[in-house]
Amino acid sequence: MKILKFLPTFFFLLVVLNILFIFGAASSTGLDKTFFSITLPSTATWVFTWGHFFLTVGLACLFIEVVKATRTTRTEIYDHILSTLAFIVFLLEFLLVKRAGSCVFFLLMMMSLFDVIAGFTITISTARRDIALDRDAGFIQPTN
């Protein structure tokens, strides 16, 4: 289970999407298929597609990754490196794989990019704060 701590959640989302791409379930038209629809009190029909589902999962992944970025452990460094690799794979697939050339995949790729930028920014800010607290103690030493 320790390996799951430093694997970015976007990596799992990318694996699921690639499995769906391989079996043909997710394509530009497959992501437009209705997941469910609800008639609202205003009589408008709200249609929730598979693309919307994956975007919602992507937002949840982004939230989890931002929370994980507040830790300053050694495993977080590996998480940031793997998050960067996940973004690179998202980018390459968006550019080179026909089924990944959709707005949904683009937005998931952008969420992955925000994860990379936010992760490094938050970790650097947190590390600076930890070092500043130790400086007040009269000696500089990394905290755990």
Report d(CA 14, CA 33) in Å as an integer: 19
Helix (H) or strand (E) holding 39: strand 34-39
Residue 130 has pLDDT above 60, yes or no: no
Check residue 129 and give its pLDDT. 60
Q: What pLDDT digit, counting tens, does each position of 30-51 carry? A: 778 888 899 989 989 999 988 8
111, 61 contact by CB (below 8 A): yes
Check residue 38 and give its pLDDT. 92
Q: Would you state the structure tokens that stand for residue 36, as one six-digit string?
A: 């469910």
Domain boundaries, the chain: 2-128
Report d(CA 21, CA 37) in Å as an integer: 24
Check residue 128 and give its pLDDT. 63
Q: What pLDDT digit, counting tens, does each position of 60-119 carry? A: 989 988 888 777 677 777 888 889 999 999 999 999 988 888 888 999 999 999 999 988
The neighbouring-strand residues paired with 49 are 34
Terminal CA-CA length for the chain: 21
Q: Which is nearest to 105 in space by CA: 30, 61, 35, 55?
A: 55
Check residue 121 and give its pLDDT. 86
- Average of pLDDT values for 122-133? 66
pTM, entire model = 0.77
Q: Which is nearest to 106 in space by CA: 68, 61, 54?
A: 54
